[in-house]
């Protein structure tokens, strides 16, 4: 070796010695130095349609397009997109939406929100749809069923008369609207896989609830739980009948209802303990729903 090569050789030996020390320390401290591989991107275009249970009202951060939709960038469509990384993504869900808002502008303040179907394109490959609750009057049902005492069954007495259940009639009347919505998606996005997402548990899956946190009379809780399950069953039936896949988020949400502690629940009670709208999913609930939806999409 020539004298001119000695500094280079020593420099290389010095770098190898430093690297050996760094690797030894990293091993001792349990630090991995191998860079994590970049998450694989899913080819195609993902479009999310839906109402407030999709949009995520009051969960930070709220979108400005338009602000009146109360759409969060931490809702389950956004979490699905962060997990699966589709090449294109459009979330046009909007609080208060019903099936009619798929094809007509929705008047929100400020707004309006364009017809949600406007986001569908011929190259759309995945669509999630969370709709139906407002078609049966979700908000008015909660308002009408709120009780100042835990006694009696004022909700059931209001909606079931002479053996006829008005809410079951509303669910039945919504079924063809769900069918038409799925068919409308198929017409605009013929290559898309369509996933109809149900609604998570609001009241416990058993028992008589937690008045006054969820201000429903004890005897009304089983009635409203049954109504909720009927709505989800109708969504599942219409998905199956129209070539879509139903995604059950109710079962995974059992034990995470609005009666649970603020660190456990997926849905908030009347007075939220997490940043979310009353009786709507919080960020934890959106994460839970996103995991189920992502798994369904990956399963094909």
Active-site hit among 78, 93, 153, 280? 280
Give the closest residue to 129 by CA, choosing from 227, 70, 230, 51: 51
CA angle, 274 then 219 then 256, to 5°:
30
Helix axes 76-84, 283-299, angle to 10 degrees: 50
Q: How far apart are CA 260 and CA 225, in angstroms?
A: 16
Active-site hit among 52, 63, 72, 153? 52
280 is catalytic: yes
52 is catalytic: yes
Which sequence positions are flagged as catalytic?
52, 280
């Amino acid at each position: 070796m020539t004298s001119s090569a000695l500094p280079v050789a020593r420099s290389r030996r010095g770098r190898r010695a430093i690297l050996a020390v760094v690797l030894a320390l990293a091993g001792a401290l349990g630090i991995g130095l191998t860079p994590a591989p970049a998450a694989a991107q899913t080819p195609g275009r993902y479009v999310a349609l839906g109402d407030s249970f999709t949009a995520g009202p009051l969960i930070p951060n709220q979108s400005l397009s338009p602000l009146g939709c109360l759409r969060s960038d931490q809702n389950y469509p956004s979490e699905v997109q962060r997990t699966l990384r589709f090449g294109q993504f459009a979330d046009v869900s909007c609080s208060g939406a019903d099936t009619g808002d798929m094809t007509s502008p929705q008047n929100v303040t400020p707004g309006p929100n364009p017809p949600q179907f406007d986001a569908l394109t011929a190259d759309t490959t995945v669509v999630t749809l969370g709709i139906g609750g407002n078609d049966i009057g979700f908000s008015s049902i909660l308002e009408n069923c709120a009780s100042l005492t835990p006694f009696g069954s004022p909700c059931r007495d209001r909606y079931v008369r002479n053996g006829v259940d008005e809410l079951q009639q509303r669910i039945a009347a919504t079924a063809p609207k769900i069918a038409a919505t799925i068919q409308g998606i198929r017409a605009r996005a013929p290559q898309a896989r369509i996933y109809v997402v149900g609604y998570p548990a609001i009241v416990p899956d058993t028992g008589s609830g937690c008045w006054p946190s969820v201000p429903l009379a004890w005897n009304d809780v089983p009635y409203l739980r049954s109504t909720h399950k009927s709505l989800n069953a109708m969504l599942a039936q219409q998905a199956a009948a129209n070539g879509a896949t139903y995604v059950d988020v109710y079962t995974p949400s059992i034990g995470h209802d609005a009666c649970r502690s603020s660190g456990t629940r997926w849905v908030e009670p009347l007075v939220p303990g997490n940043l979310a709208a009353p009786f709507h999913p919080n960020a934890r609930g959106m994460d839970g729903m996103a995991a189920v939806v992502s798994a369904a999409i990956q399963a094909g």
